[in-house]
Amino acid sequence: MNTKTATASEQVLKNLDRLNPDLETLYKDLHAHPELSMQETRTAALAADWLRRAGYEVTTGVGKTGVVGLLRNGEGPTVMLRADMDALPIEEATGLSYASQVTATDAEGKVVPVGHMCGHDMHVAWLAGAAALFAQESDSWQGTLMVVFQPGEETAQGAQAMIDDNFLARFPRPVVVLAQHVMLGATGDIAGSAGPITSAADSLQIRLFGRGAHGSMPQASVDPVVMAAATVLRLQTVVSREVAATEAAVVTIGVLQAGTKENIIPDEAIIKLNVRTFDAGVRKRVLAAIERIVNAEAAASGTPRKPEITPLDRYPLNVNDEAASQRIADAFRAHFSPARVHHTGPAPASEDFGCFGTAWQVPSVFWFVGGTERETYAKAKAAGTLNELPVNHSPQFAPVIHPTLETGVEALVVAALVWLAP
């Protein structure tokens, strides 16, 4: 990090300690009031109000519930910072005093529990903090800061919904787009790398058709339960036998549904699965293998009707620009110290953040911030039990507030100032 960037970072961040109580209050409020994807009206209103009070030009309702704030501060580049807002249909089991008790109606009309079990509430608080600090210290930087509170990341809808809402024409083109995610890792630490950083993801629904019958007369049926079971088992061989050891892929069956009563052979079965890949060629081969296996198992069972394979959602491969990643890594090491900044390989999690950089054809960089209490993480790492700690999407996942909150705010400020320092 050069001297100008370091000086600017010191100036912009000097009020962080004073802002921290308000950010903690905001975070706990968001955590206790989560909202499902594309339903983030309360969260969006809080974000918009925060930005207006800081002096931003605010546009709401972008891509349904998205919020965009612009802070123009003289001639210079535009930098975009993004945070996702949505929560998950998961019942929280953290036992925190500010734990969610919320239920909501999902897109299919079912009432479900809702919890911020992925950390997007922390992301919103981070961006709100960075936005406020930049507004308070306009003499320390130059250009335009664009902050984006995005809906619907968990369903891969939000980024594209904003882009489809004439996003590129309505807002200035940035020179770089930046975002971060709280993850399992020692709180206060940062991790990232150039190149692929989060996987491409494809979710599919497979509908298998059989012929129902009485449970005592299986000879009169084409049993979709057996068909589904054989399909699930055979799908396990896609990665183990069709993907090279030097490549990477994940195929996970998350839903297997069939029947209503133990003595009735049903007419159909439903399989829902998820695929993660880091290479376009591997993705193509894996999806083709899934289709081949599903159709072959159905044919082997004598299905009366070809299976239906329906895409549910898709996340793009998220690739960090090499030059921009290096500049940010250098700035992080100078600000946080090299011991707190780590190189990490691609994560099998998926993100729609990359849609913004792709749409604008500008560099994007995405990194991770640890949210696990340092001693807890160190003990688990030493014992080889990191897999036993709560991770994102676990009912027990909850980042420790401090210093996770401060670290995320600092990271956004330091990264943005790589371009905005005068």
Annotated binding site for Mn(2+): 118, 120, 154, 181
List of residues 6+ apart from 164 with CB closer than 8 A:
63
Q: Do residues 40 and 63 make contact, with C-beta atoms less than 8 angstroms apart?
A: no
Number of Cβ within 10 Å of residue 288's Cβ equals: 12
List of residues 6+ apart from 272 with CB closer than 8 A:
203, 204, 205, 206, 253, 254, 255, 312
Provide the pairing of β-strand 190-192 with 364-372. antiparallel
Number of Cβ within 10 Å of residue 296's Cβ equals: 13
Judged by DSSP in three states, 204 sits in strand
Judged by DSSP in three states, 166 sits in coil
Provide the pairing of β-strand 264-265 with 341-343. unpaired
279 class by beta-carbon count within 10 Å (0-12 exposed, 13-18 middle, 19+ buried):
middle
Annotated binding site: 118, 120, 154, 181
Cα–Cα distance, 46 to 34 (Å, whole number): 12
Backbone angles phi, psi at 349, to 5 degrees: -70, 165
Cα–Cα distance, 82 to 178 (Å, whole number): 6
Q: Which parts of 139-248 are beta strand (E)?
A: 143-150, 176-186, 190-192, 195-198, 200-209, 213-214
Give me 254's structure tokens.
Answer: 């998350």
Total residues found in the chain within this entry: 422
My answer on whether omega of the bond before 266 falls inside 30° of 0, hence cis, is no
Q: Do residues 222 and 304 make contact, with C-beta atoms less than 8 angstroms apart?
A: yes
